[in-house]
Amino acid sequence: MSQSVKNTLEYFIVIMLSFFTSITMAEPISQVRFSGGAPLDSYQPRIIVPILTEAFQRNGIKFDAQYHPSLRSLKMSNSGIMDGQLHRVYNFHQVSAGKYPNLIRIESKLLSVSVAVFARKSLKINTWDDLKGYTVIYYRGRKNVESQLKKVLPVEKIGKATTDHQAFRVLAVGGADVVISESTQGKQIIAANPQLAGIIEVVKLEETEIYAYIHKKHKSIASKIAETIEQMKQDGTFEQIIEHANQN
């Protein structure tokens, strides 16, 4: 086969792929599946899932949420196997060093949460820098926490758990000096597990803003979903969902 014929065939293939892609992109979206890196009965998903369910429903789109371990969840969402991420920090792309470029932030804040230090006794910790010298464990996949810890601690002082519950169990038996978790989530875990009763919150290190992210293949609806969430804040639905989630 001559080079000119090969070039013609390659050009034809590219044109056909573009054509079929445009047809697929033009199809209306009827359903999306988002993944989250925390169990759906934990603090953030209990609030965020019903908010997003309502927002997508108002746009004629069925919303489904699934739990997958955090790093797997990210890979599935970035690849397009899942349609988005339930909850990530505002500056997610910065703290994850741009490893998940296919995820687009839905520009309406869903939550503000406090990143906190937990320990078995009171410690003199007020900032991230004060963690120097301690052995720390946290739930892997929290890119904002990972980013901060790498600045102040050597690798051998940083432990990663597959869940928040596991991190607190390690702390309880002396496998680490402190746990970094979300304040509300951490307190709920301690309250629900008698064996963790001696663990206390030492300090809140910072407040982080939580947003949902959607795969770029659905870029056309990202702004519309953000607008709908803002409308829900205005009409009272947003606050009602939060109040209901906090009561259960």
The ranges assigned to domains in the chain are 7-111+210-247, 113-208
pLDDT in tens, 94-127: 999 999 999 999 999 999 999 999 999 999 999 9
Report the distance separating Cα 1 and Cα 10, nearest Å. Answer: 13
The predicted structure's pLDDT at residue 14: 40
- Are 32 and 56 in contact by the 8 Å Cβ rule? The answer is yes
pLDDT band at 25 (very low <50, low <70, confident <90, very high): very low
pLDDT in tens, 172-188: 999 999 999 999 999 99
Fold matches, 7-111+210-247 and 113-208? yes
Alpha helix ranges (H) inside the chain: 3-26, 43-57, 70-79, 92-95, 143-152, 164-172, 183-192, 219-235, 237-247
Taken in order 183, 184, 187, 192, the sign of the CA dihedral is negative
pLDDT band at 11 (very low <50, low <70, confident <90, very high): very low
**Whole-prediction pTM:** 0.79
Domain spanning 7-111+210-247: CATH superfamily: Periplasmic binding protein-like II (3.40.190.10)
- Are 115 and 206 in contact by the 8 Å Cβ rule? The answer is yes
The single-letter code of the amino acid at 126 is: N
Q: Domain 113-208 has what CATH class?
A: alpha beta
The three-class DSSP label of residue 1 is coil
